[in-house]
Each structure stands twice: as structure tokens, then as C-alpha cells.
């Protein structure tokens, strides 16, 4: 498989000390819809912005379909449709004006396609942007990205401020469009149910590093959960990923491979995020063995 998005040893430092991304090696396969998951400050937005040239890496390099966005930002922009967390539309302009704006500035912008998506969602073209709901604004942002017919879509938590119905509609449009066009999408989100609905691959970021990068099927099949509590000093072994609190306050631990009950995608994500915290879990024992 060819990588649509790639980073090698990528690092981004803000100020003198704070590293948002650190020595990050990643490859996002062409034609996939990949979820980018991580806690606040894990570097998700920085990574997505770097691919459209909004952030300059401190170390390493990155490519979008083989193009370096630092050296050839214009080319990189042509390859990417970017949807930010806040759609940030021009509040003085109508939806139709936004399509005219994109047509004027983006070579090859498919206004008819964007208009079709908006028509399907009953978003009137003559509405001013500031009269739209948050969900509708997000849809306009997505329609602009889809209308660009870019081979890569980068979505920076576009669902964060949407209600469940708006999220479902947004993801429905996204998945349909991506499957139809064969594009690659990288979707940053905190909502695991959304990821399960829309994505086929998963990247977990923590502390500026990639903690996990696999298909969602592999992520679920490759992990189990055991009911454990941390007790020093007996180590369980290298198959331990991380320990985290369960829904009833019990201590759960995610392990690679078998040995426990089937893990949900949420447990896989949380287990890896727990492992990526500054003080990683090093010593646990099985409850029944203790």
C-alpha cells in the first residue's frame, strides 16, 4: 500500500521546551479513513496543520502524497482538503458566496459537487453563514473540503461542538464521499462511537508520539482486557499495555494478545493512552494471583 500521509522523525517544539510532537514516525495508507485519537495537547492539531503548511516542523520531515508541505506548500494545499475544528466561515457571506470564493481561489474546485452535498442536507445557499447552526456550518466546511476534490481530507476535530444527530449526518456525508472518490481521510476526534462508525484505521497519539497505529479490526482483535489492580513489585510482562479505571471503579488492564475478555475499541484507546502518560505503568500483578 502507498502512504498518502507520512512523517519521519517529526518533531514540533513550541517555545524552548514544549514539544507538541516528538520523533513521530507515521504512515497513513491511501484510501483509508483513519481516526487520530489522543488527549488534549497530544499534538493532533499540530500534526494535521503541519500537513497543510500551517505549522513548520522543528525536526524531521513529512509528506502528503510525496509532497513536502514545508517546501511546496501550494502543492500540498492542492492535495488536501482541510476542515478545522471551528468552521470559521465568513459571517458576512452567504453559503453560495463561500462556494464562489472557493471557485475563485481553488483551481478545479467542483462547486456543483459541493452544492449537491449542501442540497442533500437542505442547507440553503442564500443563507448567511452566521445564520446557520453549528452543525450546518460544519457541513459547509466539509462541503468546501469535498468540493476541492482533494485526494486527502484532513479533519481537525470537526465533530467536537456538534450534537449527536449533526455528528451522524456529518460522518455519513464524509464516509460516502470518501468511499465514492477513493480519497484518504484523517479524522481527529475524541468520540469513540464516531470513530467506530466512520473509520477503518486508528492512530493513537500521546505525548507527541504515536502509541498505536493499526487498522481498527487489528486493534480490537489484537487486545484483551483483564481485571487487575496494580500491586508492586511483580511485573506481568511485556504484553501489558496500560491500566485504567473501569465503569464500576474497578481497575482494568489492556494486554496485547489473548488472556482476557475481548476489548472494545474504547478500551484499546484508553489503555494505550494510559500507557502513554508521563508515569507509565510498570508493575502489576493478576488479582487472582495476588
Partner 1 sequence: MVRSVPLVYRMQRFELLAVGAIGAILIVLAIVVARELEGVGYGACYLAESAPPSCEALGRRFYDIQNAHASPVASFMTLLPYALGLFLGAPLIAREIERGTARLAWSIAPSRIRWYAWRVVPVVVFGVVLAFAAGFAVDRLVAARTPGIDLENSFEAFGQRGALVAITAFVMLAGAIGLGTVIGRVLPTVIAALVLGAAGISGVQHLHTDFTAREAVIVDEADVRPGDRYIDQFFKLPDGRVVGWEELEQIDPASVASETGPTYPIVYSVIPAERYREVEAREALILGSIGVAMLVGAGVIVTRRRPG
The answer to whether 215 contacts partner 1 (rule: CB under 8 A) is no
The answer to whether 93 contacts partner 1 (rule: CB under 8 A) is yes
Among 38, 141, 158, 208, binds partner 1 (CB under 8 A): 141
Span 40-69, contacts to partner 1 by CB under 8 A: 49, 52, 54-55
Question: What's the min distance (Å) between Cβ of 77 and partner 1?
Answer: 4
Identify whether the C-beta of residue 152 lies closer than 8 Å to the C-beta of residue 184.
yes
Closer to partner 1 by Cβ: residue 38 or 81: 81
The phi and psi torsions of 82 (rounded to 5 degrees) equal -110, 130
d(CA 189, CA 277): 19
Distance of CA 122 to the CA centre of its chain: 27
Closer to partner 1 by Cβ: residue 17 or 105: 105
Catalogue the E-assigned strands of the chain. 3-14, 18-29, 33-37, 59-64, 80-83, 152-156, 184-188, 201-206, 209-215, 223-229, 240-245, 251-256, 261-262, 285-286
Question: What's the min distance (Å) between Cβ of 140 and partner 1?
Answer: 10
Question: What's the min distance (Å) between Cβ of 186 and partner 1?
Answer: 14
Among 74, 182, 237, 278, binds partner 1 (CB under 8 A): 74
The answer to whether 18 contacts partner 1 (rule: CB under 8 A) is no
Span 217-246, contacts to partner 1 by CB under 8 A: none
Task: Write out the three cell numbers for 147.
Answer: 468540493
The answer to whether 117 contacts partner 1 (rule: CB under 8 A) is no
Point out which residues pair with 185 in neighbouring strands. Answer: 33, 153
d(CA 61, CA 50): 10
Among 28, 35, 77, 284, binds partner 1 (CB under 8 A): 77
Tallying the residues shown for the chain, one arrives at: 290
The answer to whether 162 contacts partner 1 (rule: CB under 8 A) is no
Three-state DSSP at 211 gives strand
The answer to whether 112 contacts partner 1 (rule: CB under 8 A) is no
Closer to partner 1 by Cβ: residue 124 or 246: 124
Pairing label, strands 223-229, 261-262: antiparallel
The answer to whether 84 contacts partner 1 (rule: CB under 8 A) is yes
Task: Write out the three cell numbers for 232.
Answer: 508492586
Among 5, 67, 80, 142, binds partner 1 (CB under 8 A): 80
Amino acid at each position: 500500500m502507498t502512504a498518502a500521509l507520512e512523517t519521519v522523525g517529526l518533531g514540533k517544539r513550541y517555545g524552548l521546551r514544549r514539544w507538541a510532537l516528538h520523533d513521530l514516525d507515521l504512515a497513513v495508507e491511501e484510501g483509508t479513513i483513519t481516526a487520530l485519537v489522543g488527549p488534549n495537547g497530544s499534538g493532533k492539531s499540530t500534526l494535521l496543520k503541519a500537513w497543510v503548511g500551517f505549522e513548520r516542523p522543528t525536526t524531521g520531515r513529512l509528506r502528503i502524497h510525496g509532497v513536502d508541505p514545508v517546501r511546496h506548500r501550494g502543492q500540498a494545499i492542492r492535495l488536501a482538503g482541510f476542515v478545522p475544528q471551528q468552521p470559521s466561515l465568513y459571517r458576512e457571506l452567504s453559503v453560495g458566496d463561500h462556494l464562489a470564493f472557493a471557485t475563485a481561489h481553488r483551481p478545479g474546485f467542483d462547486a456543483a459537487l459541493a452544492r449537491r452535498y449542501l442540497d442533500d442536507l437542505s442547507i440553503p445557499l442564500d443563507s448567511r453563514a452566521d445564520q446557520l447552526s453549528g452543525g450546518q456550518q460544519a457541513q459547509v466546511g466539509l462541503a468546501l473540503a469535498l468540493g476541492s476534490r482533494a485526494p486527502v481530507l484532513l479533519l481537525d476535530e470537526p465533530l467536537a461542538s456538534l450534537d449527536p444527530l449533526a455528528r451522524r449526518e456529518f460522518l455519513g456525508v464524509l464516509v460516502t464521499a470518501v468511499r465514492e472518490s477513493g480519497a484518504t481521510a484523517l479524522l481527529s476526534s475524541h468520540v469513540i462511537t464516531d470513530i467506530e462508525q466512520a473509520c477503518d484505521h486508528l492512530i493513537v497519539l500521546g505525548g507527541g508520539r504515536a502509541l498505536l497505529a493499526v487498522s481498527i479490526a487489528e486493534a480490537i482483535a489484537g487486545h484483551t482486557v483483564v481485571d487487575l489492580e496494580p500491586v508492586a513489585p511483580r511485573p506481568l510482562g511485556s504484553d501489558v499495555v496500560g491500566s485504567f479505571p473501569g465503569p464500576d471503579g474497578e481497575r482494568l488492564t489492556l494486554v496485547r494478545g489473548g488472556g482476557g475478555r475481548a476489548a472494545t475499541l474504547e478500551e484499546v484507546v484508553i489503555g494505550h493512552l494510559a500507557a502513554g502518560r508521563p508515569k507509565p505503568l510498570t508493575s502489576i500483578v493478576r488479582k487472582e494471583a495476588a
